Amino acid sequence: MTDITNLGILGYDGLRFVTLDLKRSHDFYTKKVGFTQIAKSSDAWTEETGDTAAVYQAGDVTIEVIEPNRDGSFGSYHRHFHAAGIATVNFRVRDIEAAWKHLEERGATFIADIQTDEIDGGRYRRFEIATPLGNATFGFVERAEYPGYAPGFDVVETDVHNEFGIGGIDHLTVNMSTLKPYIDWYKNVLGMEKFWEIDFHTSDINPGAGSGSGLKSIVAKDPESGVKFANNEPLRPYFHRSQIQKYLEDFGGPGIQHAAFEVEDIITVVREMRERGVVFLHTPHSYYAARPATLAEQGVPEIDEDWQVLEDLEIAIDGSEDGYLLQIFMKEAALLYDEPEAGPFFIELIQRKGDRGFGGGNFRALFEAIERDQLGDLAGTKAE
């Protein structure tokens, strides 16, 4: 059998997101988080597919946003089963034929044959496979001087502004009810490796509470490109009360909970995004009181940032002897818009300063912050 590491993934090519409201998505990406609209679906594509789409880019992050127009379209199929969210993850590959061959040998389930389009001496080739992640699909794209986004799309803008210095997708986080089948699929079909894992439960710190929830997470990594998926399952006791389980109920099955975007200066980015109305998850002040001592125990070098600034902006920090990382998480769309069908997807911003891991302390802090938001939502109040 051919070595699966020769699959040839170069990185993420982009995400396909099905929305309830394309105008609202357009305003969010262009007015709040500094993306540029680079393409839109042609009239012919919209007529043929039954969907309307717009494509946004910042740095190496590309997001195709789809709004369904009629029953039977790709977008309406997604919406029939799920809240708004990511329907497809596209990977850039070195050689589309080689990627197909290796995936075929590993038992991948193909949705259609390779699509090819050639314009002005450039070429675009793509195919798609089914995944264990419910109705989510993975696409594989080879680009060779192709002068646009994809077949069926008209160019809107070629000058990508990238106001906030977004680099690329650091990782995607996926929620599911059980990890092993997914981890086996990442390994046996995609050739990914286990990169990191953690598990915890709120009963660990308050065993007599009689309530709480937890998760187990395993990060899978493509060894060549560094593409990463953080995969979460709920833990007992109180399995069905876990925020992972709540995600599954809110989204309509397993799916991508959030996308993490790399930034170069998270303090400046968060300040300016807050001024534009971006809403982030609340981090309690108690988190910062213990953080300096915790980082010192972990061997984290002295940080460059002012602790008070991090606390004021509610930016989380974690690290190791290799360095540290800074993170913040936006509020999920369903709570942001007070509309359940807007979905539980959200965006993370991350700045890495030496640490390439996932920050176990921040991982737990995020889990607890989401639970606070969900409990506030259930009670009909804003989580404080």
Number of neighbouring beta carbons within 10 Å of residue 304 = 8
Q: What is residue 22's three-state secondary structure?
A: helix
Contacts 24+ apart (CB under 8 A), 269-274: 269/164, 269/165, 269/349, 270/313, 270/315, 270/328, 270/349, 271/313, 272/163, 272/164, 273/32, 273/33, 273/164, 274/313
Q: CA 141 to CA 341: how far, in whole Å?
A: 30
Q: What is residue 338's three-state secondary structure?
A: coil
CB 202 within 8 A of CB 341: no
CB 16 within 8 A of CB 66: yes
How many helices (H) and strands (E) the chain has is answered by: 11, 17
Q: CA 80 to CA 69: how far, in whole Å?
A: 13
If we measure between CA atoms, which residue out of 282, 269, 274 comes closest to residue 332? 282
Q: Which amino acids are annotated as binding site, given as ranges?
A: 171, 258, 348
Q: Which residue has the tokens 């607890």?
A: 368
Q: CA 157 to CA 54: how far, in whole Å?
A: 12
Counting every residue, how long is the chain? 384
Residue 221: φ, ψ to 5°: -130, 135
Q: Which amino acids are annotated as binding site for Fe cation, given as ranges?
A: 171, 258, 348
